[in-house]
Amino acid sequence: MKIKMKCPVCGRQIYIEAPPVDGLREFVVLHGDHAAKIYIDEHHFVRRAWPAPLLKAEEEEAPRQAYGVFVGRGRAVVVGPGGEKLAELPTGELGAAVTLAEKLEMN
């Protein structure tokens, strides 16, 4: 059912589409970049409406994949998270191998 109400944040006349309500139910109304919490009763009467600050939720960042450099037998070998060989350089270029592993880890 369409309900006409005054947005408690910006004061403009707005319309919301509410489902059938049994008793009293709480809803969050998103109007543009702001939100309000409201209570609607079974007669689709807005009993209470007040501004509700919006918070942005984020999911936890996935753990980084680890890349490594193994040194031995005159070689610096860059390996991926699964142990796969990605590059092989002379040990004199160990710095370049580490830089490569760091770059791969950042992506």
Residue reference for tokens 């160990």: 94
Count of residues in the chain: 107
Residue 91 phi/psi, 5° resolution?
A: -60, -25
Residue reference for tokens 């969050």: 28
Q: Nearer Cβ to Zn ion, position 16 or 97?
A: 16
Site for Zn ion contains 75 (CB under 5 A): no
| 3-class secondary structure per residue, 38-89 | EEEECCCCEEEEEEECCCCCCCCCCCCCCCEEEEECCEEEEECCCCCEEEEE
Cβ atoms of 27 and 37 closer than 8 Å? yes
Name the residue with the smallest CB distance to Zn ion.
Answer: 7
Segment near Zn ion (CB under 5 A), from 7-15, 22-30, 51-59, 86-94? 7-15
Minimum CB distance to Zn ion, residue 55 (Å) = 17
Segment near Zn ion (CB under 5 A), from 1-9, 48-56, 65-73, 97-105? 1-9
Q: Nearer Cβ to Zn ion, position 7 or 76?
A: 7
Q: Nearer Cβ to Zn ion, position 10 or 71?
A: 10
Q: Which 10-39 residues touch Zn ion, going by CB under 5 A?
A: 10, 31
Which residues sit at the interface with Zn ion, rule CB under 5 A? 7, 9-10, 31
